[in-house]
Amino acid sequence: MRDLPEPITLATGAEARLRGPASPLAVVCVNGGQGRDVPGTWSASIEWLVGELAPAFPSLRFAEVRYRIKSWNRLDMCVEDAVAAIESAGGERTLLVGFSMGGLVCVRAAGDPTVEAVLGLAPWLPDRLDLSPLVGKRFDVLHGSLDRWLPGIPGVSPTLSRKGFERARSLGVEGTYTKISGGVHGMALRARSGRPLTLPRAHRWAELASEAIARFEGVA
């Protein structure tokens, strides 16, 4: 199990784990959520993904966000936590990475002036979501082909994220949509030991996310 950095407390009272040096380039990673109001947790998928990506991009600052309350009934709070993490990461240019409900949170936080791009990982993009904060930014989406909501099992249909992506494209937003064959909802689950256990196609998620980060890093 990789050593994890000690969390810092954000201005909102949420927490973030920072990896990498202080840098003008920041990658801020945001968790999903649920219907009930429960305390925030560290995402196994985001934790695993950052553990894979941070060593490959040693000049970038990575931040993982732990919400105060991880619930879509507290979206305003979650957005505040994401914005606080952007500020704490201190990047002059920021890439937001949002998993599941975190995709919605990242879209809403994309109006921050440092944000240049959003990467949605199985993002929840409901029809009522205002996508205008993405105008002038780049928006890429990755989604597992087998992802879906089932009773007692969280998930987001790729049909929904594709619809949201096309709505963003209609606003002039540039980006790509990639369906990961055989992928499910996320990259990892939390084992009883506390370690993230990878899900099918996890390394394909990491490969494609790495391409998005390399693109962000290489933009002048």
**Domain assignment present for 2:** no
pLDDT value at residue 39: 83
Q: Tens of pLDDT along 34-84? A: 777 888 889 999 999 999 999 999 999 999 999 999 988 889 999 999 999
- The answer to whether residue 211 is domain-embedded is yes
Q: Does residue 2 carry a pLDDT above 80?
A: no
Task: With respect to residue 145, please indicate whether it lies within any of the assigned structural domains.
Answer: yes
Domain range for 49 is: 8-218
Polymer length of the chain: 220
pTM of the model: 0.95
Give pLDDT tens digits for 161-201.
999 999 999 999 999 999 999 999 999 999 988 899 999 99
How many structural domains comprise the chain?
Answer: 1
In a domain, 1, yes or no: no
Residues 6+ away with beta carbon under 8 Å from 141: 103, 119, 120, 123, 161, 162, 164, 165, 175, 176, 177, 178
197 contact partners, CB below 8 Å, separation of at least 6: 44, 188, 189, 190, 191
What CATH code is carried by the domain that includes residue 32? Answer: 3.40.50.1820
pLDDT for residue 36: 79
pLDDT at res. 220: 46
Mean pLDDT of the 11-17 span = 98
pLDDT higher than threshold 50 for residue 6? yes
Q: How confident is the model at residue 1 (pLDDT cuts 50, 70, 90)?
A: very low
Give pLDDT tens digits for 92-106: 999 999 999 999 999
Give a yes or no: residue 42 inside a domain.
yes
Whether 19 shows a pLDDT value over 80: the answer reads yes
CA distance linking residue 63 with residue 15, whole number of Å: 10
pLDDT at 152: 64
3 lies in some domain: no
117-173 pLDDT, tens digit per residue, is 999 999 999 999 999 999 999 999 999 999 998 766 679 999 999 999 999 999 999
Asked whether residue 15 is assigned to any structural domain, the reply reads yes
Position 112 confidence tier, pLDDT thresholds 50, 70, 90: very high
> Domain for residue 31, yes or no?
yes
pLDDT of amino acid 37:
81
> Can you tell me the distance from the alpha carbon of 184 to that of 174, in angstroms, rounded to the nearest whole number?
25
- Strand, helix or coil at 69? strand
* pLDDT reading at 26 higher than 90: yes
Site of tokens 């890093």:
217
